[in-house]
Amino acid sequence: MPTLASSNPPEVQKYIAAFQAVNNLTDNHIQMLKIHYDAPEQKVTAKQLSQAMGYSHHTTANMMYGRLARLVGEQLGYSPEPEKLGTLVTFEKRKGEWHWVLRPEVAQAIERLGWVVRSTTELSNEALYEKIFDELFYDQDNRSPPDHRRRAQFKIGWENATLERRYYTNETLNAVLTWNNLGYRFGAKLGHRSKSEINPVLSLWGNKNQNQILNCR
């Protein structure tokens, strides 16, 4: 699938200018880029991206993302063959299924455009966890103080985002905050971590959750 053109993409600044020049860029296009950017290792399949967008079939993601790639490619004068989608991604085949890997140039371009927020390793761990939590969207916090079962759900959610590579839709994530989808959100941001690395995150938010409950009494 790779071609000579696909191995020599335009520079970051050219991608920025191309995104800015696309007249009919939609919110859905930007949301797809955000989901791809936040995916573990910035890799998704058409099925995963469709599920995250709430589409009923993976062909919808193919069509929408392909159209965005074509629009950007036209502005760049860049059209890697045989897949127009190669303007935005490279391709990696795993277990018979194609994975889309966001091009580093695209990732950097949407960072500079302010469409995504890059997690910085310069922050202390606690400050980084606070930053991730502050960026979450949800209508209702449904978490009770953590016990053994809820801690397990947090870790399951984290592994769903990393090891299992499952995708929770925005509709699910934005409705109610649970221990499971909180773990998923942190896993999607921080990637795979050992249990010893996950436990401090869980302890921090367990303490904050308990304090919030006490303050409301």
Question: What percentage of the chain exceeds 70 in pLDDT?
Answer: 86
Q: Residue 188 has what pLDDT?
A: 79
pLDDT tens, residue by residue, 203-217: 776 655 544 443 433
Give the residue carrying structure tokens 């979450």: 136
- HSE-up of residue 122 (Cα within 13 Å, Cβ side): 2
19: pLDDT strictly greater than 50:
yes
Taking CA atoms, 141 is separated from 17, 177, 182, in Å, by 40, 5, 10
pLDDT of residue 75: 95
Q: Phi/psi at 9 (nearest 5 deg)?
A: -75, 165
Q: What is the pLDDT of residues 157-168, one digit of tens each?
A: 988 887 776 878
| Structure confidence at residue 1 (pLDDT) | 45
* Mean pLDDT on 120-141: 74
Placement of tokens 């959750």 in the chain: 209
Give pLDDT tens digits for 37-46: 988 888 999 9
Asked if omega into 82 is within 30° of 0 (cis), the reply is yes
Q: Give the alpha-carbon dihedral of 63, 16, 93, 118, to 10 degrees.
A: -110
pLDDT exceeding 90 applies to what percent of the chain?
30
Give me the chain's average pLDDT, please: 82
For residues 89 and 102, is the Cβ–Cβ distance under 8 A?
yes
Does the pLDDT at position 64 exceed 50? yes
Q: Spelled out in words, what is the top-level CATH class assigned to the domain 12-112?
A: mainly alpha
Taking the C-alpha atoms of residue 170 and residue 134, their distance in angstroms, rounded to an integer, is 17
> What mean pLDDT comes out for the span 111-127?
69
Judge whether residue 26 has pLDDT over 70: yes
pLDDT value, residue 106: 94
Residue 4 has pLDDT above 50, yes or no: no
| Predicted pLDDT at 175 | 87
Domain boundaries along the sequence of the chain: 12-112, 125-216
Per-residue pLDDT, averaged over 137-149, amounts to 87
Amino acid identity of residue 8, one-letter, is: N
